[in-house]
A and B are shown apart, each in its own frame.
Chain A
Amino acid sequence: MPTTSNFGWTTPADTDLVKDGAAAIRTLGNGIDTSFVDLKGGTTGQVLAKASNSDLDFTWASDATGIPATIFDAKGDIIAATAADTASRLAVGSNGQVLTADSTASTGLKWASPAMGSYTYTRIGSTSGTATSLTYTITSGYKQLYYAFNVTDPGSMYLRLNSLSGANYQNSYYHRLFSVNTTTSTSIALDGAVTINSGGYWNGIVQISDVTGNKPFVEWNCVTNGNGAVTTIGGIANYNSNITLSTLQFVWTNSKAYELVEWGAN
């Protein structure tokens, strides 16, 4: 008996008698019916998947490879697995957070603030004098810089970096270091090696992060109460662009005796 070239279904031969035609067609139909039995059944949303390598061996299955868009609820949502073959939505974190592995989370992931790095600061240098303005050339080769300074009496002063004006900063408190402060302090000790100042001086610190990198970040604080503790955050600022800092400029309203110590870390 002849058969079809692809699936081998039996077909009537040219020499078959007419009386055998019904049986021959029934044989062909049954062959097709048997071959396509796997297409029977299924339900809405299912797709056909191969059950084996055999021809026409299919099974109806959920669409495991296509995740419906309705799983997303909001901007920033991402998909993560909670187990094998199980997808789940993870909502976006807050600004500045980074995606972090967390085995206790259902997806094994969480949005978290980046961990603070650890730096070892080395004393680079210092200066002192009496003036109305001090322009200090930042020591190059360090990514993080830390300054402690003292002036003879409380008052107001401005801090500028690279002699840049407020338009270069992203913070309205761009270069005001302290505006009003009547507190005196007695000492500030850093890294256990240097103690600067004595009673009657006014202390502050300036910390600069990512000096040569992406939008340097500057924070300045007032140190009070004689124990070196930072009690007042003077301000923070980011530069609008990527620049390499070169100078730190202090401006006072009148002549002051000052001390400045510089530390650096990478």
Chain B
Amino acid sequence: MSKPTIDFADGNGLIESREMTDTEYAEWLETKKKIEDDYAIQAEKVAARKAVLEKLGLTEEEMAALLG
């Protein structure tokens, strides 16, 4: 299975586009997990906020106005 592609560039454009090395791949997997964990946490917050708004019968704008 091929590894993901990593690009290198500067102001003049693309310098190199290649498959990640084993080290880069390991780092990317770690970062990917952080991103997905962040996504899950954020999604939970969004869902919780939505539930509270529904419970209160308020829109986002109305809540924002209430909170000043």
Query: Which B residues contact A (CB, under 8 angstroms)?
Result: 4-15, 17, 20, 24, 28, 31-32, 34-36, 38-39, 41-43, 46
Contact = CB atoms under 8 A, between A and B. Distances in A.
A131 B17 contact: yes
A130 B36 CA distance: 21
Contacts, number: 85
A125 B9 CA distance: 10
19 contacts: A125-B10, A131-B6, A133-B24, A134-B9, A135-B6, A136-B8, A136-B9, A137-B9, A137-B10, A137-B11, A156-B36, A157-B35, A158-B34, A179-B35, A179-B41, A179-B42, A180-B39, A251-B35, A253-B35
Contacts of B14: 127-129
Given A126-B11, A132-B5, 4 more contacts: A133-B5, A158-B34, A158-B35, A180-B46
Contacts of A133: 4-7, 20, 24, 28
A132 B18 CA distance: 10
B1 to A, nearest CB: 14
Contacts of A179: 35, 38-39, 41-42
Among B28, B35, B39, B41, which residue has the most Cβ atoms of chain A within 10 A?
Answer: B35
A179 B46 CA distance: 11
A151 interface: no
Among B15, B24, B32, which residue has the most Cβ atoms of chain A within 10 A?
Answer: B32
Contact of B42 (A127, A130, A180): A180
A176 interface: yes
Interface residues of A, number: 27
B28 A130 contact: no
Nearest to B38: A179
A47 B17 CA distance: 83
Nearest to B5: A131
B7 A125 contact: no
Given A131-B4, A255-B5, A125 B38 contact: no
B36 A132 contact: no
A158 B31 contact: yes
A139 B46 contact: no
A219 to B, nearest CB: 18
Contacts of B6: 131-135
